[in-house]
Structure 1
């Protein structure tokens, strides 16, 4: 069975919660996060989430990317 490809619209409290739930869940693949802020800020919000607690996994950020596990999310196709 193929994974469900998911795009998250907004990375506020609910968007981060959805991301965390699908992060390690089987059958889901987060392919996009639609938000107005930079990838660096998205990674920071996930690492230091005051509502849900900081994410314990490894999160990395580049100039135009956010990486987690084996996946890399690019900012609007920029590299």
Structure 2
């Protein structure tokens, strides 16, 4: 679920992979790899993403944030 959710959150915030990678201090290829499900993020990265998007790690991992009923779980404010 993290692959789909990471990509969805990035799109909602209108961020490119490059910008998100810079903000999270990783490479663009790492973001791409996570979004495409080619590799799994580390716990440290999940904590960073959770803090960045203000979403609990459990939500990132277990909820499908692309579904309409999950919209209330996402805070789009900066």
TM-score for the superposition, normalised by structure 2: 0.27
The structure richer in helix per residue is 2
Tell which has more relative contact order, 1 or 2 (C-alpha 8 A, sep 6+). Answer: 2
TM-score for the superposition, normalised by structure 1: 0.27
